[in-house]
Amino acid sequence: MAILINSQLNIALVEDDPFKLRLLEAELGRICGEATIRAAGSVQSAVALIGSMRFDLVILDIALPSHDSSPQGPAPLSMPSGGLEVLYELSYENRSEPVIIITQYPEIEIDHKLLSLDAAGEEFSRMLDVNIVGVVYFEEDAGEWGKDLRSILEGRT
């Protein structure tokens, strides 16, 4: 399924690493032009963002903290599969936005099993009623992730 790439896209970008977030925003700018990108950096802020409006695309990191850090609050919990909570929310709300999972881990743990990224995407789609359109392995030093993201967006996977 190709996503209609245009400058009117409304994208939810869920990523907790500021450096990776900037790289993703820049790459999306090259691919989609002046699309509207709304960012969230934790499970809590992603669920709130997705609950606030519909998106044309959700780009989701799987490893997310429980909530945004705050000087007054407790430290966020590291959640290696925190993005799964966001997928549960999308499924619970019967949302059909296309989702691209992006991760810097070569495998994703689901039910105590390590799965390849392609197998994990298929398993998420099987477990939940979500529209996973692709999984991107993010390696900063290898420029392939940007090409892979573009291929998914253009429906060439």
Q: pLDDT tens string for the chain (157 positions)?
A: 556 565 688 999 999 999 999 999 999 999 888 889 999 999 999 999 999 999 999 999 998 988 766 667 665 556 567 888 999 999 999 999 999 999 988 888 888 888 888 888 888 888 898 999 999 999 877 678 999 999 998 886 5
* Tokens 């997705």 sit on residue: 50
Domain 10-70+81-153 class, CATH top level: alpha beta
Nearest to 59 by CA among 17, 12, 97, 7: 12
**CA dist., res. 121 & res. 26, Å (int):** 24
Nearest to 56 by CA among 104, 5, 16: 5
CB 137 within 8 A of CB 61: no
Quote the DSSP letter at residue 106. S
Burial of 22 (0-12, 13-18, 19+ CB in 10 A): exposed
CB 65 within 8 A of CB 78: yes
pLDDT of residue 12: 97
CB 136 within 8 A of CB 108: no
> What is the H or E stretch that residue 20 is in?
helix 18-32
* Tokens 């519909």 sit on residue: 54
Q: From residue 27, how far is each of 21, 69, 84, 92, 147 by CA, in Å?
A: 10, 26, 24, 30, 9
Whole-prediction pTM value? 0.88
pLDDT of residue 156: 65
